[in-house]
Amino acid sequence: MSKSVGKSVTRVDAYEKVTGRAKYMDDLCDRSALLVKICHSTIAHGFVKSIDTTAAEAIPGVVRVLTCFDVPDIPFPTAGHPWSTDPDHQDVADRLLLNRHVRYYGDEVAVVIAENEVAAAQGVRALKVEYEELPFVLDVQKAMEPDAPQIHEEYPGNILKHTDIRKGDYEKARQEPGLIRIEGWYDTPTVQHCHIENHGCYAYMEAGRIVVVSSTQIPHIVRRVVGQALGIPWGKVRLVKPYIGGGFGNKQDALYEPLCAWCSTMVGGRLVKLECSREETFVSNRVRHAIRTHIISYVRPDGTLVARKFEAFSNQGAYASHGHGVVAKGMGAFPQLYPCENVECDCWSVFTNRPAAGAMRGYGIPQAMWAGECHIDDICNRLGMEPVEFRRKNLMPVGYQDAFSKNELYSDTFCQCMEKGMEVLGYPEKYRAYRNQTGPVRRGVGVAVFWYNTAVWPISLESSSCRMVVNQDGSLQFQTGETEIGQGCDTAYSQMVADAVGIPLEDVHVISTQDTDVTPFGTGAYASRQTYIGGFSIMQTAKALRERILNIAHDQTRMPVSNLDLVDGRIVRKSDGRVLKSLGELATEALYSMENSRHITAETTAQIKSNAYSFGCSFAEVEVDIPMCKVTLLNLVNVHDCGTLINPALAEAQVHGGMSMGIGYGLSEQLLFDEKTGRPLNNNLLDYKLSTIMDHPRLEARFVENPEPTSPYGTKALGEPPACSPAPAIRNAILHATGVAVDSCPITPHVLYEKFKAAGLLED
């Protein structure tokens, strides 16, 4: 049997995309659409007292102006989580379609619906909004102070949530004589996803229902949120997800779909389109949580971790969105990655008057790895231990099992990944060669590992459904609720389906578009879950389909099912290997049979109650120009154990993209805010320093393949992990080069100037 899994087959959507024919949201929208433009607040915190719409309504082409005084009073949640039927586990419903109480500079206060873009934009400019301004707060710890402005009435102290982990006795253990205390504060910035296609959607009413076509990662979830936000039965909402131009977690939230749908209902169900500008995407969609982390470690001189304390303060911004799950995931990694008998961990998600933070590639792990892996090198620096040696000694051992998730480290993943990374970078030689450098330009090498777990079980539901429909020619359509967002899951799925059913790859037709009216339920692209989770429902549905096919083959050939097989799209008699007929012949005969017509289909739902660790590391080599305070990244290597590779070329490409995001996180990206007004200062692609092709060295992606025993295909997370460890690896390389430990990213010349000055490396 020819196998597709494991081969670098061409993407199923490559031709459509490389010819520009692939249809994204705006390509599909009829040109008769009315355009919706949002009026955003120009204060960071306060109340809208009034909005004078007279001038806007007088503009030719303006059809309707709607304000925060018009919206239904139905708070709704936006997070792209599976819904929970347990009220205690439901996402926080703190949004209205438009807001009188504005909580960040860029909040939505009104919309103008117009016949064309110019009229809509003029309409927004013509609105006269009067505010009652309130004090605002941007810093996460200042927001926790007693006299801080209150952002949500129901959350005193602005604390959305606090959780902790306690293990052993930290206070007692740290009293052990002879321990070395290492303490650090580590900061990460607010960054944005910067998918090249901005979020947008369009909506219209049809037969009493609302149809929304959206650039989203999570169509089935957004359908539910639109229903909740509009206060209508969920069955009245149809959500369609076409090709999307990247998501990275921003589109794992209901963004403007509820508002757009409501606008359509307010103009008699006419077609309306809402497209975010780049500037709006930066501020009024979602951002990555800026997290400040405090770590104290008590270590024996031989490098044994005795007691550790971890505190993380997560800047939630103005609304709950994904909320506490992000920082909690990062905190969860802390006691697992370097197991220690005595641990105290606390984390807080805190509302501030910044843009709402949501999901972003890595979901709290890039922040946690920044803090945790910087801290590990601070320990090594203090003890005079080699960073790789320290990690070998202290990292999660083989056989480690987490009590809650039941995740287990089955293989010597960390050591294998670090071995490979060291070899590719030439780390041991460079580590020695770059010691004790002097002079203005120095080089260094650094390592960082990462912890990641696939999917969301047991925190939340894991379920996936798919449908296979056999055509008369023996090919089949494959549909699932899990979404292609650029990562390549449609291609991986086609390979998995081909093997599981027993048909050639070219006979699998993946339906890329999700349409909640016809697509089986699935929660969508997040948590690097889809290849792992989808694998279960593919395997299960293929088994059901094969049973049906072989039963029909028995009817048609009179051979017992036990002596029949489906191989490469042919019905084969197992005893002598003879091909009895093709699947196409079987399907045609079955469909058109005058006696017993059958359409061969299968659809099943798999609920998944397992999860899998997905680990790896980054190795970086830098050159630091000390007088210029400038870092040049010379080499970056990522090594991953994501189990068995389904498509090695696409896996490698996925890692490149994550590394790129990690480089930006480490060296250049941050969304800045004016301290005086809360106004975002660089919400565009010129001033926000997204890496260009000139900012990268050659990216080296490598794999260690230890098949994951809980997965039918031996696979586990790869989408998010590559973005988790590059930034601390770069930071640790700078430490190696200069002896200077940077504690906040991005490591810009401004940051290095202060650090180098303090270290006496700069002459006056």
Interface contacts to another protein, rule CB under 8 A:
8, 10-11, 13-24, 26-27, 31, 59-60, 118, 122, 193-198, 243-246, 248, 275, 277-278, 485-488, 649-650, 652-654, 656-661, 684-686, 690, 692-694, 696, 698-699
In terms of CB distance, is 207 or 694 closer to another protein? 694
In terms of CB distance, is 443 or 656 closer to another protein? 656
8 Å CB contact between 246 and 661: no
Shortest Å, Cβ 693 to another protein: 4
Shortest Å, Cβ 360 to another protein: 11
Shortest Å, Cβ 80 to another protein: 18
Shortest Å, Cβ 196 to another protein: 4
Shortest Å, Cβ 761 to another protein: 29
Shortest Å, Cβ 63 to another protein: 16
Shortest Å, Cβ 695 to another protein: 9
What DSSP character marks residue 88? G
The two most distant CA atoms of the chain are separated, in Å, by 95
In terms of CB distance, is 77 or 366 closer to another protein? 366
8 Å CB contact between 260 and 232: no
Number of H helices, E strands in the chain: 19, 27
CA dist., res. 58 & res. 46, Å (int): 28
Shortest Å, Cβ 652 to another protein: 7
Q: Is residue 727 within a helix (H) or strand (E), and if so which, with residue range?
A: helix 726-738
Do you find a cis peptide bond into 746, omega within 30 degrees of 0? Answer: yes
In terms of CB distance, is 48 or 114 closer to another protein? 114
In terms of CB distance, is 544 or 649 closer to another protein? 649
Strand pairing partners for 465?
605
CA 474 to chain CA centroid, nearest Å = 37
CA dist., res. 662 & res. 656, Å (int): 10
Q: Is 257 exposed, middle or buried (0-12, 13-18, 19+ CB in 10 A)?
A: buried
Q: Is 597 exposed, middle or buried (0-12, 13-18, 19+ CB in 10 A)?
A: exposed
In terms of CB distance, is 605 or 682 closer to another protein? 682
8 Å CB contact between 606 and 464: yes
In terms of CB distance, is 412 or 625 closer to another protein? 625
In terms of CB distance, is 14 or 398 closer to another protein? 14
In terms of CB distance, is 306 or 637 closer to another protein? 637
Shortest Å, Cβ 28 to another protein: 9
Classify 448 as helix, strand or coil. strand
CA separation (Å) from 492 to 280, 468, 487, 569, 601? 33, 16, 10, 19, 21
Q: Both tokens of residue 392?
A: 């070998």
Task: Quote the Cα angle for 526-451-714, to 5°.
Answer: 65
Shortest Å, Cβ 15 to another protein: 7
Compute how many other C-beta atoms are within 10 angstroms of the C-beta atom of residue 272. 28
In terms of CB distance, is 461 or 653 closer to another protein? 653
CA separation (Å) from 140 to 51, 312, 442? 31, 10, 36
Compute how many other C-beta atoms are within 10 angstroms of the C-beta atom of residue 85. 7
